[in-house]
Structure 1
Amino acid sequence: MKVMLRVMAALGGLLLLFSAAGGAPADSPSEDLRWPVTVRETTITGSPRRVVSLSPAMTASLIELGFAGRLAGVSDSCILPDALGEIERCGSALLPDTAAILALQPDLVVASTDLPAALTGPLQEAGIPLLVIRRAADFDGILDNYRALATAMQGEEQGERIAEQLEYFAQQTLSYLNDAVSRSVAEGTSAVYLRKMPFIIATGDTLEGSWLTDLGLVNQAQEFEGWDYPLEAEPDLNPNYIFCDRSVTLEALQSSDYYRRTSAVTNLRVIPLDGQQFEQQSPRMFLVWEEAVRTAFPEAFDGVERPSIVLPMEPPPAPEPEPESWWESLFGH
């Protein structure tokens, strides 16, 4: 819990950059030159103050980008910080509660997948824009998703500024980890990222698999695809390190015929992490990855100074101020 709060606090400090600067919104919508804006074929005519999110991933990103105060409704499966209190539940992307969503009178509905016609039709009739931002396949796609969401919430110019800051933050964090570890590990050191027992493992075509190789490690699932490590390759599975979702316990690995004799398990080099952050691809996942890597290779960071992740911007951004942001409420900034 302490680790997660520290991770959230770090992101909060980064993203408060966007709300700390001055600048008041225009007196009337007609004077606000940021709108309308088109994001992935969806036209948004004004600043969305009431947003319904039917995607846990979009909800997480909206919160971490500082827009928690604009959430009017979320899906039944969205996990919210206690500090946000109760927010209207609106079903799921597959079975949305159309009546509940329309009753909230949202300015914008966001999702990560196509929604059924039973909802899209009424949204269109009510003039409520629907923005679909799908899960990205790679690093560049993740950054494009951040840009799209920030643009939808703040307009093109400010959306670009937020995306620029997040790109710098992500690149600096990953470069810092990759440089430190690749210099210190022995050649041929191997690892896997185990999402679920027994063989849902990050293969060479996945983002998580590429992050292992970027550290200078040999991903033992590199030659396979689609998170599918074949049973017939199990005799060759002997990683020096196992990164795994926290649902995979050391005890489970120690009792598994597939893993108990591996180098990682016998030497207790098993590093659990919150795999849900990788599924959601919210900005917090970079800090979750940093925590895991530093835990696995503490000696690699001896005497290594962590780089600044705040990108100076001139002129500073001037987003619409929130009455009291979630970050301010939770961390007392």
Structure 2
Amino acid sequence: MENILEVKNLNIDLITEKGNKKLIDNVSFNVGKKQSYGIVGESGCGKSITALAVMQLLSFPLKTSGGEINFHSEKESVNILSLKKNEIRKIRGKEISMIFQEPMTALDPIFTIERQIIEALKFHTDLNKKDMSDMALQMLKKVGIPRAEEILKEYPHQLSGGMLQRIMIAIALICKPKLLIADEPTTALDVTIQAQILDLMNELKTSFDTSIIMITHDLGVIAETCEKVAVFYAGQIVEETDVVTLFHNTAHPYTSGLLKAVTSLGDKSKNLFTIPGMVPAGGHMPKGCRFEERCNKKMKICKDKSPELIEIADGHKCRCWLYAESGDN
């Protein structure tokens, strides 16, 4: 499959008075054209700041300290990290768009919905005001907004969370981007609205031939929307494979723990399963495997030496000493 995005050895640091602390450590992954790629993991594992790096939206005290983020558009291929501010603005919102976690805070309360939707069109197109309004209206109808003509004139505080999330999707898709990053797009929504939003995103992916990076801590969302998935832990990818293999042939003990926690929700005869301990704080990583203190399969080597991310089967990578001998270093 041809790739639209290639992240190579990405490093992100936290700048402090006592020196820089590495939060993202040599992360690499590829997103294919028209592919849905999932990034899953606990809060604090580095999912969102990786997405912000792709959008060149990291702000002090965070900064990228190494690696490449290569974006392949129809016209050219560029390393996003090498672009100047005026150059990345031509890509951001047009070629690559992002749906942020909280629509209530992402939308400006003093501007109408219409003005916020057409903002990207003003920057990236030469359309007149009427054409932009018509496109905004069509996009609201596309994302399933009722009484769309009236909604255009309303303000964010007048709408529900589900409606605002649909409007965020409309804003992200108004310029028909080739890559859409969805950062926890269903976190604040009830179960019924979540299902509607996921169905909508799957439908729009087909309509616009858009690749999607789905960032979430919910494995149910991954199962519903993604073809390939990377499991993040403490700033590293610990497992990467297709979504079917992830659920049926799990390799890393951390991924197994996440799955066990989800499946225990529906079993009333057993206690809710939790992974003991907590994710290490950024910049205070252990010498060996970062999951060692929480792992029920740890060995002596795990404490002293960090494992590499290796291919343990065709298209299946894992960062664990359990598979070191079977993998290809």
**Structures share a fold, TM > 0.5?**
no
The normalised TM-score by structure 1 is: 0.29
Higher share in helix: 1
Higher share in strand: 2
The normalised TM-score by structure 2 is: 0.29
